[in-house]
C-alpha cells in the first residue's frame, strides 16, 4: 500500500505524528493509499513555510504569477482524463461529471491567470488641487484553504488560483475523504513551477489540522467550503482573520403551470441526482404548481426509475455511490424522518444491494414546506415535491429555508421569470435551467446561512483573496488638509 506524504516547504515529508489514515473507493471499498494523519506540529511547519515564502512570492510581478497559472491550466488539460478517473475512483461521481470537475479547474486557472494583467484598482479625483488618489490590490498573507470532498479538484482550484495570483501563500487542507486528488493537484502545481513554500499540503482531521489552522496566529485568512456547523465554528474561533465561507444550500426548482415539463424534468434529474445529490447546489426541493403536479410527478417518476446505479467508471452508470458509510446512513435516516412526517414516498428510499455506498434515487411527494426533509440539507439523492397555487406561494416556499445559494424556475412567462429573479433569496437564480452550472468568470456564493457574504469566481474571487489599499499622492509641495480644514 503506497504511503503519501505532506508537502511542506518544497519537500514531501511524513507527519511528526507517525500516524496515517486510509482513503477508499466508495464504489468498491478498495483502499487507495495511506495518508498522513497530521498534527499541530505539522501545521506549524506548513504555516512557517508559507510565511517564509510570502515575502518573495508577493514581489513576483502579478503577470509572472499568471504565467505559472497558465502552465497549471495546460498541465491539467494534458492530464484531464487521468485526473477525471482519479476523481471517480476516490470520490465516486460518474466519469462525465468527473471530467467536468477537472475542466472547471482548468477554466479557473486560465481565467485567474489572466487577472495577473489586471488586478484592477481604480483612480478617482481628489477634492484638493495637485493631489492624486487611487486604490491598489495587495495580498493578504498566508491563506488556509479548507476544502470538501465533493469537488476534489475544482473547489481547491477555485481557492488556490485566486490566492496565488494575488500574491498570497497557501496551506491547503483537503477533505480526508479525497486526499489523493489533492496530492495529484499539488504535483501539477509543482510541475508548473510554483516556488517552494508557496503551496503547502497538510492532510489530516478537522480537529488536529482544520481547527489548528483556524486558530493559528500566523494564518491571515481562512477560506472554507463545507457545513454550516463548521462555518459557525470558524466564525467564532478565527479571531480577526479574513474569512470566506460557502456553507451549502437547500435549493428549489419552481415549475410553473406554463412550463415545458420535459425540460423541467431534465433539470430536476440533473439537479437532484447529479453527483448523487452531493452538491451544495443540488435541487433538493421541487416546488410545482398544483395544476401540473400529477403530470410532473408521473414524468419524474418514470425517468427516475430508469436511472442506473453503479461504478462511475462504467459508461452506462447514471448515479454513483455516496462518499462514505456515514452519508449512506444519513440518507436512510432522512427517509425515515420523511415517512414519519407524513410525506409520500414515490420511489427509492433504500440502500441498494450493491458493494459500495449506494442509495437508490428517492422522491417524496405531498411534502409540506416546514417538514425536515424540506428544510435540512441531506446531501444525498433525495428530492421533496411541494405543491403550490401560484407564484407568490412558490417564492414563499423557496425562501422558507435558512439557506440561499441556488434557485431555478421553469416558465415561459417573462413576468414570472423576472419576479423570481427579484424576490427569490439566493445568490444564483436560473431561468429554464437547473440549479447547477456555475461558470468560473461569474460570482458564486449565497445569502443567509449559505455563507458570510463572500463570493468566489470572477473578479469577486480576486476581491476575496486580496486587500484594498488607498493611496494618496500630494504633489503640491505644501501641507493640504482635506475636508476644507484651514
**Sequence-ordered alpha helix ranges (H) in 356-485:** 391-398, 414-423, 458-464
Backbone torsions φ then ψ of 206, nearest 5 degrees? -60, -35
Length of the chain: 486
Residue with C-alpha cell 512557517? 48
Measure the CA–CA gap between 287 and 267, rounded to whole angstroms.
13
Catalytic position from the list 143, 166, 181, 280: 280
| Catalytic status, residue 246 | yes
Give, in order, the Cα–Cα distances in Å from 409 to each of 297, 430, 443.
16, 6, 20
CB-based contacts of 139, cutoff 8 Å, min separation 6? 54, 58, 166, 167, 168, 465, 466, 467
Say which DSSP state 319 is in: B
- For the CA atoms of 31, 33, 37, 38, the dihedral, rounded to the nearest 10 degrees, stands at -150
Q: Which of 222, 159, 148, 155 is nearest to 377 (CA)?
A: 148
| Catalytic status, residue 280 | yes
The DSSP string of 30-46 is: -EEEEEE---HHHHHHH
Residue 135's H or E segment, with its range, is strand 131-139
Catalytic position from the list 97, 104, 110, 246: 246
Q: How many helices (H) and strands (E) does the chain have?
A: 14, 21
Backbone torsions φ then ψ of 360, nearest 5 degrees? -70, 140
| 95: its cell numbers | 466519469
Query: Which residues are designated catalytic?
Result: 246, 280
Amino acid at each position: 500500500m503506497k504511503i503519501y506524504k505532506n508537502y511542506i516547504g518544497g519537500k514531501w515529508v511524513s507527519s511528526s505524528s507517525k500516524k496515517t489514515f486510509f482513503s477508499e473507493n466508495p464504489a468498491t471499498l478498495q483502499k487507495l493509499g495511506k495518508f498522513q494523519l497530521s498534527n499541530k506540529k505539522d501545521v506549524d511547519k506548513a504555516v512557517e513555510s508559507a510565511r517564509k515564502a510570502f515575502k518573495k512570492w508577493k514581489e513576483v510581478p502579478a503577470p509572472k504569477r499568471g504565467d505559472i497559472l497558465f502552465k497549471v491550466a495546460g498541465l491539467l488539460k494534458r492530464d484531464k482524463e487521468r485526473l477525471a478517473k482519479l476523481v471517480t475512483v476516490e470520490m465516486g461521481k460518474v466519469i462525465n461529471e468527473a471530467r467536468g470537475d477537472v475542466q472547471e479547474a482548468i477554466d479557473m486557472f486560465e481565467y485567474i491567470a489572466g487577472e495577473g494583467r489586471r488586478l484592477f484598482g481604480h483612480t478617482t479625483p481628489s477634492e484638493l488641487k495637485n493631489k492624486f488618489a487611487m486604490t491598489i490590490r495587495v495580498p493578504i498573507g498566508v491563506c488556509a484553504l479548507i476544502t470538501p470532498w465533493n469537488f476534489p479538484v475544482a473547489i481547491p482550484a477555485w481557492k488556490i488560483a485566486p490566492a496565488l495570483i494575488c500574491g498570497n501563500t497557501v496551506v491547503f487542507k483537503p477533505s480526508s475523504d479525497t486526499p489523493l486528488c489533492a496530492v495529484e493537484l499539488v504535483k501539477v502545481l509543482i510541475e508548473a513551477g510554483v516556488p517552494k513554500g508557496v503551496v503547502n499540503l497538510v492532510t489530516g482531521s478537522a480537529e488536529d489540522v482544520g481547527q489548528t489552522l483556524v486558530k493559528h496566529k500566523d494564518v491571515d485568512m481562512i477560506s472554507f467550503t463545507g457545513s454550516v456547523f463548521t462555518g459557525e465554528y470558524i466564525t467564532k474561533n478565527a479571531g480577526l482573520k479574513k474569512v470566506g465561507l460557502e456553507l451549502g444550500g437547500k435549493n428549489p426548482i419552481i415549475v410553473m403551470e406554463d412550463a415545458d415539463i420535459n425540460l423541467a424534468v431534465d433539470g430536476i434529474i440533473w439537479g437532484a441526482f447529479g453527483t448523487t445529490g452531493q452538491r451544495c447546489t443540488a435541487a433538493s426541493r421541487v416546488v410545482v404548481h398544483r395544476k401540473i403536479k400529477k403530470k410532473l410527478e408521473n414524468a419524474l417518476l418514470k425517468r427516475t426509475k430508469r436511472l442506473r446505479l453503479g461504478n462511475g467508471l462504467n459508461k452506462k452508470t447514471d448515479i454513483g455511490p455516496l462518499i462514505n458509510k456515514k452519508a449512506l446512513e444519513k440518507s436512510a435516516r432522512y427517509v425515515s424522518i420523511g415517512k414519519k412526517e407524513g410525506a409520500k414516498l414515490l420511489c427509492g428510499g433504500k440502500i441498494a444491494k450493491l458493494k459500495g455506498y449506494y442509495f437508490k434515487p428517492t422522491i417524496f411527494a405531498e411534502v409540506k414546506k416546514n417538514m425536515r426533509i424540506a428544510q435540512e440539507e441531506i446531501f444525498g439523492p433525495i428530492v421533496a415535491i411541494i405543491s403550490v397555487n401560484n407564484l407568490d406561494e412558490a417564492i414563499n416556499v423557496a425562501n422558507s429555508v435558512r439557506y440561499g445559494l441556488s434557485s431555478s424556475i421553469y416558465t415561459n412567462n417573462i413576468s414570472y421569470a423576472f419576479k423570481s429573479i427579484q424576490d427569490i433569496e439566493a445568490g444564483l437564480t436560473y431561468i429554464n435551467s437547473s440549479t447547477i452550472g456555475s461558470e468560473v468568470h461569474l460570482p458564486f456564493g449565497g445569502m443567509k446561512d449559505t455563507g458570510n457574504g463572500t463570493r468566489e469566481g470572477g473578479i469577486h474571487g480576486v476581491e476575496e483573496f486580496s486587500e484594498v489599499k488607498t493611496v494618496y499622492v500630494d504633489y503640491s509641495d505644501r501641507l493640504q488638509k482635506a475636508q476644507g480644514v484651514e
